[in-house]
Chains A and B, each alone.
Chain A
Amino acid sequence: MDEFGSQWMQQWQKCVNGDAVMKNVGRYFDENVLLDFGEDQAYVVQFRGGCVDRIVDKAGPEDRYAFALRAPKSSWQKFVQRVPPPMYNDIWAMAHPLHGRLKIEGDVQVVWQNLRAFTWALALMRDVAH
């Protein structure tokens, strides 16, 4: 399975939507998020009530999103390891000005408002990879 490909993303969607904690902590997480994995792999992920409602492959001019996470594929590959290496275990670790291994763009207030649910959902990517 192509890591960060469409099939991989669908697997992640299943993990998120089957996760009881996500339904609890993500109850009010209703935002569209762009995830850019580099190498022309980017998706708009629609979160609704703690579930991934829809994943838009090849986002076009009509796809709205509140914020975007952009990092090279090599960074994401480290992030999704079962035991990620230091500085790659967390999006804030990767995005911190000291490190700059991931960029957060757009309405950053929405990121901070939903940080718990969003980081929980991203951590579930480790269940897809393994």
Chain B
Amino acid sequence: MARIEPIIGRYVHVDYAGKDYRIYYEETGQGIPLVCLHTAGTDGREWRHQLCDPDINKNFRVVALDLPRHGKSIPPDGWWKEGEEYKLTAKFYSEFVIAFCRALGLEKPVIMGSSMGGNICLHLALNYSDDLRALIAIEACEYSPGWWLSWLHHPHVHGGEVCATSVFGLMAPQSPDEYRWETWWYYSQGGPGIFKGDLYFYSVDHDFRGKCESIKGKIPTYFITGEYDFACTPEMTKDTAAKVKNSEVIIMKDNGHFPMSENPENFKEYLMPVLAKIRAKA
């Protein structure tokens, strides 16, 4: 008997700022919409374990999209004529996530994102609380400098190898080799300059210092950070969360910056109580 996973992949056309974006997403399950945001320079494959987990998808409609220019979501028409390098901004990112949710008709979704997907949760908490149910901000903090580096998109450096290797140490040594190298593999496959462009958001445009206090706390924000994350350390997360109303902090032992893909079993131990709390409030 063939082992077939429950994941279904589809494309949805999202209109944003007068452009048509053909967006790939994968989904499983039924229930509360749980939209999963991948990390910089990769795609929704990072969420395959959570998509396939019956303990999660029996109560949640788990949706993992590839942002424009990532994975199977092709760039918008005319990208090759752009006169400036790609730079992801907080405005585009947050507005596009909301536009995607609306295109799929998702009602009050939970947004769960890691790294840049965690950082964008702060912007979503500030500007879109009325549209959302809860935020799960993984490896998130108010300011994460030091990653917008020219070497990640440079003609003298192999982009795939360097992007992937630059993030390898963000993973915990306790995470299984199989999954750490799977994460490396995803990172080796981004389009030219996409990881770097995402890091413009991660390290430059996402400077949320002085803004955390403005989040009203209408919906809960759950911060989850791995102890091996050197880009957003547990201390950085705790410092941010202390300023965000209606938030909780969870620090994962033996996990790093990519918990959903580098050590999904360990991550599940920390995620399930959060999902239970969200269900209890539904």
How many chain B residues touch A (CB < 8 A): the figure is: 24
In the complex, per-residue mask of A76-90: 1 if CB is within 8 Å of any chain B CB, else 0: 000000011011011
Taking the complex as formed, is B230 at the interface, i.e. its CB lies under 8 A from any CB of chain A?
yes
Q: Given that A98-B230, A109-B151 are known contacts, is A93 also in contact with B170, CB under 8 Å in the complex?
A: yes
Given the complex of chains A and B, what is the CA–CA distance between A83 and B174 in angstroms? 8
Taking the complex as formed, is B231 at the interface, i.e. its CB lies under 8 A from any CB of chain A?
yes
Q: Decide if the interface of chain B is mainly helix, strand, loop or mixed.
A: loop
Given the complex of chains A and B, what is the CA–CA distance between A119 and B146 in angstroms? 20
The answer to whether B166 and A92 have CB atoms under 8 Å apart is yes
Give A residues with C-beta under 8 Å from B: 83-84, 86-87, 89-93, 96-99, 108-109, 112-113, 115-116, 119
B-chain residues with CB within 8 Å of residue A87 when the two chains form the complex: 230, 233
Taking the complex as formed, is B158 at the interface, i.e. its CB lies under 8 A from any CB of chain A?
yes
B-chain residues with CB within 8 Å of residue A89 when the two chains form the complex: 169, 172-173, 228
In the complex, per-residue mask of B207-240: 1 if CB is within 8 Å of any chain A CB, else 0: 0000000000000000000011111010000000
Q: Given that A84-B173, A92-B169, A109-B151 are known contacts, is A97 also in contact with B156, CB under 8 Å in the complex?
A: no
Taking the complex as formed, is B145 at the interface, i.e. its CB lies under 8 A from any CB of chain A?
yes
Taking the complex as formed, is B25 at the interface, i.e. its CB lies under 8 A from any CB of chain A?
no
Given the complex of chains A and B, what is the CA–CA distance between A49 and B157 in angstroms? 18
Q: Given that A86-B230, A90-B230, A97-B146 are known contacts, is A109 also in contact with B173, CB under 8 Å in the complex?
A: no
Contact for B162 among A83, A99, A112, CB less than 8 A: A112
Taking the complex as formed, is B168 at the interface, i.e. its CB lies under 8 A from any CB of chain A?
yes
The answer to whether A96 and B231 have CB atoms under 8 Å apart is yes
The answer to whether A115 and B165 have CB atoms under 8 Å apart is yes
19 A–B pairs (Cβ distance < 8 Å), ordered by A? A86-B227, A86-B233, A87-B230, A89-B228, A90-B169, A90-B170, A92-B169, A96-B231, A97-B145, A98-B230, A98-B233, A112-B151, A112-B157, A113-B158, A115-B162, A116-B161, A116-B164, A116-B165, A119-B168
B-chain residues with CB within 8 Å of residue A93 when the two chains form the complex: 169-170, 230
Interface positions of B from 131 to 157, Cβ below 8 Å from A: 145-146, 151, 154, 156-157
Q: Which of A83, A96, A97, A116 has the most CB of B within 10 A?
A: A116
Given the complex of chains A and B, what is the CA–CA distance between A112 and B192 in angstroms? 16
Given the complex of chains A and B, what is the CA–CA distance between A116 and B173 in angstroms? 16
B-chain residues with CB within 8 Å of residue A97 when the two chains form the complex: 145-146
B-chain residues with CB within 8 Å of residue A119 when the two chains form the complex: 165, 168-169
In the complex, per-residue mask of B223-263: 1 if CB is within 8 Å of any chain A CB, else 0: 00001111101000000000000000000000000000000
Using CB atoms, name the residue of chain B closest to A87.
B230
Q: Which of B146, B156, B168, B172 has the most CB of A within 10 A?
A: B168
B173 to chain A: closest CB distance in Å?
5
Contact for B146 among A83, A90, A98, A115, CB less than 8 A: A98
B29 to chain A: closest CB distance in Å?
34
The answer to whether B173 and A83 have CB atoms under 8 Å apart is yes
- Beyond the given pairs A87-B233, A89-B169, A92-B169, 10 more chain A to chain B contacts, judged by CB atoms under 8 angstroms and listed by A's residue number, are A83-B173, A90-B169, A93-B169, A96-B230, A96-B231, A98-B230, A109-B156, A116-B161, A116-B162, A116-B165
B-chain residues with CB within 8 Å of residue A98 when the two chains form the complex: 145-146, 230-231, 233
A-chain residues with CB within 8 Å of residue B174 when the two chains form the complex: 83
Q: Given that A96-B231, A109-B157 are known contacts, is A90 also in contact with B151, CB under 8 Å in the complex?
A: no
